[in-house]
Amino acid sequence: MNAIAPSPARQLGFAVRPRLRRRELALLAIVAGALVLGRASLASTLAGHLALGDLRLLGLYLGGIAAVHVAFVLTGRRSDQILLPTVALLGGISLLVMERLPQGLVVQRFVGHDLGLAQLQVGWLLLSLALLAVLAVVVRSDNWLRLYKYSWAAAGIALLLAVFVFGRDVNGAQLDLCLGPVCGQPSEPLKVILVVFLAGYLAENRELLAGASTRLGPLRLPPLPYLAPMLAMLGIALAVVGFQHDLGSALLYFAVFLFLLYIATARVSYVALGLLLFLAGSAVLYEIYPVVRLRVDIWLNPWSDPQGAGYQTLRALYALGTGGILGTGLGAGLPSVGATPAIPVIQSDFVFAAVAEEMGLLGALAVLACYLVIAERGLRIAATAQDDFRALLAAGLTLVVVVQAAIIVGGNIKLVPLTGITLPFVSYGGSSLVANALVVGLLLALSDRGVEPPPPPRPRRRVFGPGTAEGVA
Amino acid sequence: MNLPGGIDTFALSLWLLRVAFLGALYLFLLSVARLLLRDLRSVSATAPGELGRLVVISSFAGGPPAGASYALDAVTTIGRDVNNTISVDDPFLSADHAVLTFRGRSWYLEDRGSTNGTYLNGAPVVGLAPLGFGDEVQAGQLRVRLDRPRPPRSA
């Protein structure tokens, strides 16, 4: 039973044999081909004759992906081979869209140069790829997440409080936190911290939560002390809405919380209770906060204020209609007024509308299919995980990406009320890209068959049934 | 430049380029779908191996050491009698003590009329009790935990 402990060099990953990743390489080749075709289509439309255009940014991006692939091969990682190409395709589509949009939408001065939208996005994409590669290669054990779940939760709450105090308003929502010249949206890393905490908490208390003991009418509830963290979760979600007006993040946190609770306990009654609380909370917020009421009213009838509040949603609907099945082609859609695009914040919240207009229904469905692929891979990693913590962590990380995509795509196509969050891997923005790279890097690390086995369970403090040998010896 | 029939060559090639881009996206998705299907088939083909493991948490002096584990078949019996799948010479164990069965998609635990009873997470087992991964079973002085099956080496 006692395995011989691996040598320190092996543990650190030095004595590794390179291992080819043929499937990943083949898929990445298709991705590269598709992106070059897309770039050529964009350049030809803009130039008015057949052209390849400026391939420097795309080349940089593809070079970054190739470097990540080579790093996985050289370190002999046996992790999932489908996630990286799928994420690479979404990032590449993001780059094409950013190159096509007016570059002046976002301009930042960096070491004496004014960098435009696409240049900044390439920088963020490369940074995210580097983070993803480092996590997938270096992480060989999950103890740093498993053992310190309450520390992570404390860090998350500190981050949240920091936004309450020092946050900066963006479009009426308090989202940005600036540290010197660098600004970011803490709601993005917060979702990862939340999943880590919930996975740790639910894995440790799964049995107690699954075995109900408190009764409330027809509902069977977990023992009361274990209900408190769940009510705290609901409180956090409500506070995020109440104080920051960040509806999207609140919805995402609460949805992922309910999913994980169901995965851990397989109890429909908890989910039903959670949904009831959600409906009650929504009704209260609708009455109290004009922001919430506005979003719901626009969703029900954007025509009530076509030039004001409903403008964004209506333009997105027109963009979807203009796109049709095959799309207008990259570079041919989106009539912009000077440097202003037709849809406000098209580079982040409404990027899906841009994709649907220029790449059509087929392109938009392909993007959605990519999220499905991520869901399949992530849940497979969860299903084959060696213990509860890893299973819940993998499932939670997957859901946080997929549910976020569903919420914002639903908002774009007026299926659900619009809430301002990013489309993972496609929207412009550093916080979003970095946080989602964190998610995929951890998923890749979890999928590696070479990672350390989970630690042995800690002995129970509980006294067991009669006849226990404990206390005798 | 126009082709016969008044078709603009540039418009035609641009249209082909756009369709080729969309086609490449679907070529990618098709390749991924094939890999996923192959992956799922290989899982279902190799599935009947191990259905779960029993890991010993604690036992009496001279019994199986803590941390030892048993791979489980669809029917695994526990008792003192040598004909049991897991046979342990524990004085608190009955000859035929308990049985673990895998039915459909999940595990069940049943007491076989033992003298000292079988306990699931500290509660005595009456009839057929559903069992999840991570649950603790106690029979006699033997405490074991049901763990997930180890992933197959290949694939």
Enter the tokens of residue B116.
């000292």
Pick the more confident residue, A173 or A137. A137
Enter the tokens of residue A158.
């500190």
For residues A137 and A140, give the distance between their C-alpha atoms in angstroms, rounded to a whole number: 8
Q: Nearest CA of chain B to the CA of A223: how many Å?
A: 16
Answer whether residue A428 shows pLDDT above 70.
Answer: yes
Side chain identity at residue A19, one-letter code? R
Query: Among partner residues B25, B28, B151, which is closest to A363 by beta-carbon distance?
Result: B25
Residue in the block written with tokens 């549910």: A403
ipTM: 0.86
Yes or no, beta carbons of B147 and A469 under 8 Å apart: no
Residue of B nearest to A207 (CA): B135
What residues of B are in contact with residue A470 (Cβ under 8 Å)? 58
pLDDT at B154: 41
pLDDT at A214: 61
First to last CA, chain A: 24
pLDDT at A67: 96
Query: Among partner residues A38, A373, A467, which is closest to B21 by beta-carbon distance?
Result: A38
| 8 A C-beta contact, residue A241 and residue A288 | no
Reported as type and span, the H/E element at residue B57 is: strand B53-58
> Which residues, in sequence order, are CB contacts of B150 under 8 Å at separation 6+?
A386, B50, B53
Q: How far is CA B47 from CA A243, B41, B134, B154, in A?
A: 50, 10, 20, 12
Answer whether residue A461 shows pLDDT above 70.
Answer: no
**pLDDT, tens only, A58-100:** 999 999 999 999 999 999 888 899 999 999 999 999 999 999 8
pLDDT at A12: 52
| 8 A C-beta contact, residue A183 and residue A176 | yes
> Which residues, in sequence order, are CB contacts of A352 under 8 Å at separation 6+?
A364, A367, A408, A409, A412, A413, A423, A426
Distance between alpha carbon A7 and the CA centroid of its chain, in Å? 36
What residues of A are in contact with residue B124 (Cβ under 8 Å)? 465
Which whole number is the average pLDDT over A445-456?
Answer: 75
pLDDT at A398: 97
Highest mean pLDDT among A147-151, A195-199, A375-379: A375-379
Yes or no, beta carbons of A387 and B10 under 8 Å apart: no
pTM score, two decimals? 0.82
Residue of B nearest to A384 (CA): B151
For residues A367 and A332, give the distance between their C-alpha atoms in angstroms, rounded to a whole number: 19
Least confident of A290-304, A396-410, B2-16: B2-16
Q: What share of chain B is helix, strand, coil (3-state, %, to 5)?
A: 25, 35, 45
Asked whether the CA dihedral A68, A70, A74, A79 is positive or negative, the reply is positive
For residues A373 and A82, give the distance between their C-alpha atoms in angstroms, rounded to a whole number: 8
Yes or no, beta carbons of A469 and B141 under 8 Å apart: yes
Answer whether residue A248 shows pLDDT above 60.
Answer: yes
Which whole number is the average pLDDT over A423-432?
Answer: 91
pLDDT classification of A462: cutoffs 50, 70, 90: very low
Yes or no, beta carbons of B35 and A82 under 8 Å apart: yes
- Tally C-beta pairs within 8 A across A and B: 133
For residues A25 and A73, give the distance between their C-alpha atoms in angstroms, rounded to a whole number: 10
pLDDT classification of A3: cutoffs 50, 70, 90: very low
pLDDT classification of B151: cutoffs 50, 70, 90: low
For residues A220 and A236, give the distance between their C-alpha atoms in angstroms, rounded to a whole number: 24
Which whole number is the average pLDDT over A101-128?
Answer: 84
Query: Among partner residues A45, A82, A456, which is closest to B67 by beta-carbon distance?
Result: A456
What residues of B are in contact with residue A94 (Cβ under 8 Å)? none
pLDDT at A412: 92
For residues A328 and A41, give the distance between their C-alpha atoms in angstroms, rounded to a whole number: 11
Enter the tokens of residue A400.
């946080």
Side chain identity at residue B141, one-letter code? Q
Q: Which of residues 107-136 of B touch A (CB under 8 A)?
A: 116-117, 119, 121-124, 132-136
Distance between alpha carbon B138 and the CA centroid of its chain, in Å? 22
Q: Which of residues 31-70 of B touch A (CB under 8 A)?
A: 31-32, 35-36, 39, 57-61, 65, 67-69
- DSSP result, A171-239: TTEEEEEEETTEEE-THHHHHHHHHHHHHHHHHHHHHHHHS--EEETTEEE--HHHHHHHHHHHHHHHH
pLDDT at A346: 83
For residues A440 and A126, give the distance between their C-alpha atoms in angstroms, rounded to a whole number: 14
pLDDT at A123: 92
Least confident of A104-118, A133-147, B124-138: A104-118
Which whole number is the average pLDDT over A248-271?
Answer: 86
Residue of A nearest to B65 (CA): A1
Pick the more confident residue, A439 or B92. A439
Which whole number is the average pLDDT over A357-363?
Answer: 93
With CA atoms as reference, report the closest residue to A106 among A465, A452, A430, A461. A430
Query: Among partner residues B10, B32, B123, which is closest to A49 by beta-carbon distance?
Result: B10
Asked whether the CA dihedral B43, B46, B51, B52 is positive or negative, the reply is negative
Q: Nearest CA of chain A to the CA of B82: how many Å?
A: 22
Pairing of strands B75-79, B86-87: parallel
Q: Look over chain B and give the mean of its residue pLDDT values, rounded to a whole number.
A: 83
Which whole number is the average pLDDT over A259-267?
Answer: 86
For residues B32 and B12, give the distance between their C-alpha atoms in angstroms, rounded to a whole number: 30
Phi first, then psi: give them for residue A306, nearest 5 degrees.
Answer: -65, -30
Reported as type and span, the H/E element at residue A455 is: none
Q: How far is CA B18 from CA A247, A326, A448, B141, in A?
A: 37, 8, 38, 71
pLDDT at A473: 33
**Percent of chain A having pLDDT more than 90?**
35
pLDDT at B122: 82
Which whole number is the average pLDDT over A431-437?
Answer: 94
Other Cβ atoms closer than 10 A to B79: 23
For residues A468 and A142, give the distance between their C-alpha atoms in angstroms, rounded to a whole number: 32
pLDDT classification of A182: cutoffs 50, 70, 90: low
For residues A203 and A324, give the distance between their C-alpha atoms in angstroms, rounded to a whole number: 46
